[in-house]
Amino acid sequence: SVKDDVLYNNTSTLETFKILKISGSQFDKALMKPVDKLPKYVSSFSTSVNLGVYSADLSFCFMYKQNQDFNNYLKNINELTTALGIDGSYGQEITKRLQANANNMDSLMVIASEASVNADLYLKENQRTNTTVLIAVGSWIEGMHIITSLADKKPESAVSELVAEQKIPMRNLIKMLANFE
Please tell me which residue, 16 or 156, carries the higher pLDDT value.
Answer: 16
Among residues 78, 61, 83, the alpha carbon closest in space to that of 70 is found at 61
Q: pTM for this one?
A: 0.80
Residue 87 has a pLDDT of 65
Rounded CA gap, 161 and 159, in Å? 5
* Phi and psi based region of residue 104 (left: phi greater than 0; alpha: psi -120 to 50; beta: remaining): beta
Please tell me which residue, 172 or 119, carries the higher pLDDT value.
Answer: 172
The answer, yes or no, to whether residue 146 has pLDDT greater than 80, is: yes
